[in-house]
Copies of this chain bind each other. A is one copy, B any other.
């Protein structure tokens, strides 16, 4: 079973965060808006302590700035820590989800081919096995409207590639890729089964990595990401 995600955590401060974060990232409090601690405390019926803790976190995400005698100022979008998983989650849940999905897909297009190339040079036998397993899993579930299972294998596959690259910066993008992939199928119900060519390419990446052919792994993965971009162009405005 999938984990509970890390939003909606326990504790008042976490719940306040899950109220403020989405509100800010959704533009409900546009940049330049000034809030006061007491005001927030009253509105959400929590103590100032709780508000301050939540604010410290928002501040570390560069969503707001707290200044004495002024209050909490919502910062312009350009300042936000857009790599923070929580910020990504909030934005994906909000109004500019399409734009966000596009940004992330472009990032994927840059990172995943590079990761695949590196993976070919440093994946462990276990990782190669996992790769093959999930690629075959995708094949097996690519027909018959088993999108749920298909997605799980797809996500796992890309996670393994990123982890196998041996680069921790790449590895940490696993959640991002998962969010993008999940978003794709969840957003609009995909009636049709995945395209067979896409499935085949995953198998090929697994092969290339197993054989240590970085060049080919990168190249095929690049085609996968090109596909993803194209798909996005069809679905989104």
Contacts and interface: CB of A to CB of B under 8 A. Distances in A.
A110 interface: yes
Interface string A27-63: 0000000000000000000000100111011011100
Interface stretch (A81-89, A126-134, A153-161): A81-89
Contacts of A84: 60, 81, 83-84
Contact of A106 (B59, B106, B169): B169
Range class of the A interface residue count: 35 or more
Interface in A88-114: 103-104, 106-107, 109-111, 113-114
A64 interface: no
Nearest to A58: B60
Given A169-B104, A170-B107, A85 B81 contact: yes
A13 interface: yes
A49 B13 CA distance: 13
Nearest to A88: B169
How many copies altogether?
2
Contacts of A85: 81
A114 B110 CA distance: 6
Contact of A86 (B60, B104, B107, B110): B60
Nearest to A102: B167
A123 to B, nearest CB: 16
Contact of A111 (B52, B103, B110): B110
5 contacts: A56-B56, A78-B171, A84-B84, A103-B168, A110-B113
Interface of A: 13, 49, 52-54, 56-57, 59-61, 77-78, 81-86, 103-104, 106-107, 109-111, 113-115, 118, 167-172
